[in-house]
Amino acid sequence: MKLPPDFRKRVLAREWLCGTFLNLGSPITVEIAGLAGFDWVLIDHEHGPGGEDTMLHQLQAASATPTFPVVRIAQNETVRFKRALDMGALGVMAPYVSTAAEARLAVQAMRYPPHGIRGVAKFNRGAGFGGDFEEYYQHGHERLLTVIQIETVEAINNIDAIAAVDGADVLFVGPTDLSYNMGIRDQLDSVPFKEALRKVVDAAKKHGKAAGILVHLPHLVPMVREMGFTFTAYGSDGGAVRSGLLGLLAALKAK
């Protein structure tokens, strides 16, 4: 498969890019989201129920649309990057990264030698089953997107060093985990949480990276945009389905 030549550049240029999380394990909702016009989608294999076969089908569904598919793996382990990338993920999100060393491990797992430690196999879906391997090998480190998730107090304390890691393209705040780890559960409008967010944005700008975040409430979208977040996701397929079904039920029960 062909690697999009400009998406990573747009991310690093801090263009406003709209995404959503897909946590149902469904190829159908991946395709719906891609056709709806989201710039990127996050296929969640940290908290979502899908397995590797599901991931493959979700990535195939994404390919039928213009969207840029990012897979969130369950843990920052080299083998998990390799599986997602070989299946055709164009970006990978590494959860719970708290140090520069962990960020470097993620970047190395994304890239073939001499730029990293990713195992080389020509016959995989990511490389067009061999047909696109040469271009994929030569340009993968320039076009695949590495998203580093910021979810702990330690990560905030180390944010400048994490942002300085070459290839750590997006510093992506996981607001639920971060707020719980800060002891301010879901207090996303609080002063301490906003201060943490500003540290992420400032570090990203200082080192030429993008800041990203997931939000669940519409009033938070303009807030994070004003703060400088650009790689921003709103909601999820699971949340949308539940909200929609509750609305249908309410209409049926209305007197």
The Cα–Cα gap between 86 and 123 comes to 9
Distance CA 228, CA 205 (A): 9
DSSP 173: E
Is residue 47 part of the annotated active site? The answer reads yes
Across 80-97, b (16+ Cβ under 10 Å) vs e yields bbbbbbbbbbbbbbbbbb
In angstroms, the first-to-last Cα distance of the chain is: 54
The one catalytic residue among 45, 47, 115, 219: 47
**Can you say whether residue 4 is alpha, beta or left, with left for phi > 0 and alpha for psi between -120 and 50 degrees?**
beta
| Cα distance between residue 67 and residue 63, in whole Å | 8
Residues tagged active-site: 47
